[in-house]
Structure 1
Amino acid sequence: MTANETQTHSFEAHKARMRALAREFGRAHASKDPHALAEGLGARLAYMDLGERDGAYDPEHGVILVNGSHSRERQRFTLAHEVSHALLLADEDLLSDLHDTFDGEALENAIETLCNVGAATILISDDDLRSALERFGTSGQTIAEVARRADVSAPVALYALADFVRTPAMFVVCAPDSALRGHARFSPGRGVVVQHSASTASMRYSLSPGTPIPEGHTVDTAFRTGLPIDEVSFFPFRSGKRMPAIVSAFPQRGRVLCAFEERG
C-alpha cells in the first residue's frame, strides 16, 4: 500500500469515527430547534454579522456564533458544522490521530472535511438516506428527496449521499455559470457548469466546481427542457475525454441535480 493509499485508508477511519460521534449526538439531541442543538453541547447560540465567515465556536466561553445574514438552511448547516468542531475537539484520540496523519494546510482541510461529514450526519438520518435511495435509486431525484426529508440544501444532501453510498457514484449540482457569480438568472449561450460535486469513496473520478457541461450533454438537455432524463451519456471532464457513464439528471428550480455512475 502506498503512502497516499495509507493516508486515504486512515482518513476513511477518521470519517467513520466522526460519523459515530455525530450520530450519537444527533440521537441524543434530535431537535430542529437550533438553540436546543447548541444547548446539547452546553453552549449558547448567538447570531451576528460575521462578514464572510459562516460561523465560529468559542469553547472558552461556550458560544457558537452563526452569521445572521445567511439563509436559514445555511445557518442550520453552519450550526451543525460548529457542533462537529466541538465534538472533534472533545475526542482526544481522534484529534491526536489527525495530527499524526496530517500537518499544515492538509490538517486544516481534513478537519473541515470531517466537520462537514459530522454536520451532514447530525442533520440527515441514515433512515432518510436509505429511504430515498430505496425509492429513487442512485439518481438526481434522490438528492432532492433527501434535501426535502431533512430540510437541508441540495449540496448538503449530495455530500451526505456520497458519504453513505458504497457503490461507485458521483452526486452533482449543476447550474448556469452566472449562478457561481451570484446571478441566478440564466443567460442564453452562457452554459451550465458544475456547482457542487461529491464522489463516493469507491468512485475513481471527480468533477471540480466550474467544470463546464458540454452543449447537448444529458445535463444540458435536462436544464434546457426542464425534463428529468436518465440515460447512458458520459462524464463531462474538462479535458474533453468522454468516459461512458449512466447519468440521471433532475431539473429543479433553475439547476440540475445529477448522479453519475460508471457504465459497467
Structure 2
Amino acid sequence: MEADAKPRPHDGPDAENLLRAALRERMRQLAEAYGLSVPGRDAFNLMSGVPAELRFLPMGDRDGAYDPEHGVILINSEMQPQRQRFTLAHEISHALLLADDDLLSDLHDAFEGEQLEEELEALCNLGAATLLMPGALVREVIERFGETGRALAELTRRADVSATSALYTLAEASETKVLYAVCAPVRSSAGNGPITVRASEGSRHFRYSLTEGTPVPEDHPLVLALASGLETRDQSYIPFRSGKKMKAAVVAFPQLRRVLVSFTVS
C-alpha cells in the first residue's frame, strides 16, 4: 500500500473499521458545521442552507427522499411529527454528503452495490442525529444528569426526537459501562400487558444489549417507576431474556407511558 493510500475493505477488518470510522467522523463534522450555520432546528431553519424545496405528501412505506436534480426534499405527510423531523434531517444529510466530493469519492471507492447503499444510509442517519442532537447538547445533558435514564429522557425532550434516536446517540457518547433501554407495556384490546424492552444500546465500553421483546420481571425497579410515575434509582440487575441477572445500578425515568432506563455496571 502506498504511503498516502486510504484503507479499503479488502485490506481486512481492521482497515475497514478504520475507514468506516473516518467516514463517520467526516459526516459528523459536516452535520455539526451545517447545524452551526443555520439559525435554528425547526423545519424552516433546517432547510435554510439547502438548495431545495420542502414538500409533504403521502409516500406509502417511504419516509422521505431527496431529489437533487429537481431540488426537492419529500417527506411522508402521514408519519408522526418526530419521525418527520428526523427524516428531514436525514435527507438534508444526503444533500450535505452529495455536496462533499471527497467523502462521496471515498465511499464509492470503498463500497459498491447494496453495501454502498447501506453505508450511505448509515452515514445519513448519523448526520441526522448530529443535526438534531449536537455534541454540545449531548455533553450538557450528560454533565447535568449523568449517564442515566433521566439523561435519556431529557435528551429526548430537548432535542424533540424519538427515545430510540436519543438512545443510540447517548450510548455513543457515554464513557462508562452503561446500557440504555426503552421499555413499555404491551398493549392489546384487553388493556396493558407486561412491560417489555422496545430498544436498547450499550456504550462502547459495554458489549451487551437486551433483545427487543424481552419481558421485565414485575419486581424490577423500572416497573415500579412506571406504576408510580416517579424516577426510581436502585441497585438491581439487567433482566436478560435468558434469565441471567447482571448486577447494575438502575435509574428508571417514566415518560409518556414508557420507561427510559439506564443500567450501569461497575
**TM-score greater than 0.5 by the shorter chain:** yes
| Structure 2 segments unaligned to the other structure (5+ residues) | 1-10
Shift of 1:27: 0.5
Pair 1:199-2:208 in alignment: no
Pair 1:76-2:76 in alignment: no
AA aligned to 1:73 is Q
Shift of 1:206: 1.8
Identify the range of structure 1 (234-243 vs 45-54) with the bigger mean alpha-carbon deviation.
Answer: 234-243
SS at match of 1:222: helix
Listed one character per residue, the Cα deviations across residues 4-26 of structure 1 (whole Å, up to 9, x for unaligned) are: 45544433332222111100011
Listed one character per residue, the Cα deviations across residues 184-217 of structure 1 (whole Å, up to 9, x for unaligned) are: x8935x2111222233223211223323223322
In the alignment, what sits opposite 1:133? 142
| Matching residue within 176, 199, 202 for 2:185 | 176
Kindly indicate whether the alpha-carbon contact (under 8 Å) linking 1:234 and 1:247 is maintained by their aligned counterparts in 2.
yes
Shift of 1:173: 1.2
| Residues 130 and 240 of structure 1, relative CA distance in 2, 3 Å threshold | same
Supply the RMSD in Å over aligned alpha carbons. Answer: 2.5
In the alignment, what sits opposite 1:111? 120
Percent of aligned pairs with the same residue?
A: 48
Kindly indicate whether the alpha-carbon contact (under 8 Å) linking 2:211 and 2:241 is maintained by their aligned counterparts in 1.
no
| Structure 1 segments unaligned to the other structure (5+ residues) | none
Relative to the length of structure 2, the TM-score reads 0.85
Q: How does 1:185-264 map to 2 (within 5 A)?
A: 187-188=191-192, 190-262=193-265, 264=266
| Residues 101 and 245 of structure 1, relative CA distance in 2, 3 Å threshold | farther
What is the distance in 1 between the residues matched to 2:44 and 2:183? Answer: 33
Kindly indicate whether the alpha-carbon contact (under 8 Å) linking 2:237 and 2:249 is maintained by their aligned counterparts in 1.
yes
In the alignment, what sits opposite 2:159? 150
AA aligned to 2:194 is G
SS at match of 2:61: coil
Pair 1:26-2:29 in alignment: no
Kindly indicate whether the alpha-carbon contact (under 8 Å) linking 2:238 and 2:248 is maintained by their aligned counterparts in 1.
yes
What is the distance in 2 between the residues matched to 1:127 and 1:164? Answer: 11
AA aligned to 1:161 is L
Pair 1:92-2:101 in alignment: yes
Listed one character per residue, the Cα deviations across residues 144-196 of structure 1 (whole Å, up to 9, x for unaligned) are: 21222223332222222123223332222111133xxxx6x8935x2111222
What is the distance in 2 between the residues matched to 1:214 and 1:123? Answer: 34
Shift of 1:51: 1.1
Shift of 1:101: 5.0
Runs of 4+ more than 6 Å apart: none
| Residues 177 and 17 of structure 1, relative CA distance in 2, 3 Å threshold | farther
Kindly indicate whether the alpha-carbon contact (under 8 Å) linking 1:193 and 1:210 is maintained by their aligned counterparts in 2.
yes
Kindly indicate whether the alpha-carbon contact (under 8 Å) linking 1:171 and 1:199 is maintained by their aligned counterparts in 2.
yes
| Matching residue within 66, 72, 85 for 2:75 | 66
In the alignment, what sits opposite 2:5? none
Identify the range of structure 1 (41-50 vs 52-61) with the bigger mean alpha-carbon deviation.
Answer: 52-61
